[in-house]
Amino acid sequence: MKVQGKMFIWLSLFILAIAIVYGLWSREPVGTTALFLAFGLAIMVGYYLAFTARRVDTGPQDREDADVADDAGELGFFSPHSWQPLALGVGSALAFMGVVFGWWLMWFSAPVILLGLFGWVFEYYHGEGQNQ
């Protein structure tokens, strides 16, 4: 995390310089304020990462001889046979089409989304793949 902290601190200094130049050159308050706020956000993240890096052990991203696989952790469990993401995708597509064509389409998309979400959450509590 030492590298990330330094990157954000250097980025915040760059944004500060750009904000000053932009503010003096354009005299436009909204963009100048946005750049100064971006500086504030970047310096907060950089300080947090630099402060945290002092208290934790050296990670794989801080070593020159590290491989990409050294930083890989457990990705979690993904159901190989689940149809529920398809139901959620269809319901979400209907919901977003409801924004375009009319809010009445939400009456059809909400039950599809709720059924897909309910099925995904309780997938392993019933049926063939029951493990609880």
Instruction: Provide mean pLDDT across the span 24-31.
Output: 95
Are 93 and 65 in contact by the 8 Å Cβ rule? The answer is no
Mean residue pLDDT across the chain: 89
* Vertex 71: Cα angle to 69 and 77 (nearest 5): 85
Instruction: Provide mean pLDDT across the span 22-37.
Output: 96
User: Closest by alpha carbon to 113, among 91, 97, 128, 129?
Assistant: 91
Q: Which pLDDT tens digit goes with each residue over 67-106?
A: 877 777 777 777 778 889 999 999 999 999 999 999 999 9
Instruction: Provide mean pLDDT across the span 14-28.
Output: 96
Question: In the prediction, which pLDDT does 129 show?
Answer: 66
* H-only helix segments in 1-132: 2-26, 29-55, 84-101, 106-121
- In the three-class reduction of DSSP (H, G, I as helix; E, B as strand; rest coil), residue 110 is classed as helix
Q: What is the pTM of this model?
A: 0.52
* Vertex 88: Cα angle to 82 and 94 (nearest 5): 145
Tokens of 49: 């990462």
Question: In the prediction, which pLDDT does 57 show?
Answer: 76
The proportion of the chain whose per-residue pLDDT surpasses 90, expressed as a percent, equals 61
pLDDT reading at 58 higher than 80:
no
- Which residues have a Cβ under 8 Å from the Cβ of 96 and sit 6 or more positions away? none
* Dist. CA 89–CA 95, nearest whole Å: 10
Question: In the prediction, which pLDDT does 31 show?
Answer: 95
